[in-house]
Amino acid sequence: DTEVTQTPKHLVMGMTNKKSLKCEQHMGHRAMYWYKQKAKKPPELMFVYSYEKLSINESVPSRFSPECPNSSLLNLHLHALQPEDSALYLCASSQNRGGQPQHFGDGTRLSIL
């Protein structure tokens, strides 16, 4: 069983919709991450939060907006996405920003119509 929980598991949305992905961990970790994974490829880092503050943004388009309401929760707000944004979105956490290993959730599979 994964200790990082992501909802929803699947999401289909149109290009004009607004939706949010949610991630929760109860391991007391203080660093949380968003990754994007295309089929048959390794995950690509999008954002890093450390102690609830955005620490790293890997030049992600503004149509992706992360939020960390508290140390256990991480959201990814989506707006005006493009078909090429269809992918598996993975959340991960670690003890702190320099700490390894990272623990991953099962992801949200996103399809943009």
Partner 1 sequence: GDSVTQMEGPVTLSEEAFLTINCTYTATGYPSLFWYVQYPGEGLQLLLKATKADDKGSNKGFEATYRKETTSFHLEKGSVQVSDSAVYFCALSPSNDYKLSFGAGTTVTVRA
* Amino acid making up residue 68: C
By CB under 8 A, tell whether 93 contacts partner 1: no
Q: Which of residues 43-72 bind partner 1 (CB under 8 A)?
A: 43, 45, 48, 50, 55-56
Degrees, nearest 5: CA angle 40-81-8: 65
By CB under 8 A, tell whether 40 contacts partner 1: yes
Nearest residue to 63 (alpha-carbon basis) of 83, 93, 38: 83
Residue from 34, 68, 107, 110 in contact with partner 1 (CB under 8 A):
107
By CB under 8 A, tell whether 32 contacts partner 1: no
Nearer to partner 1, 2 or 111 (CB): 2
By CB under 8 A, tell whether 2 contacts partner 1: yes
Alpha helices per DSSP H over 9-73: none
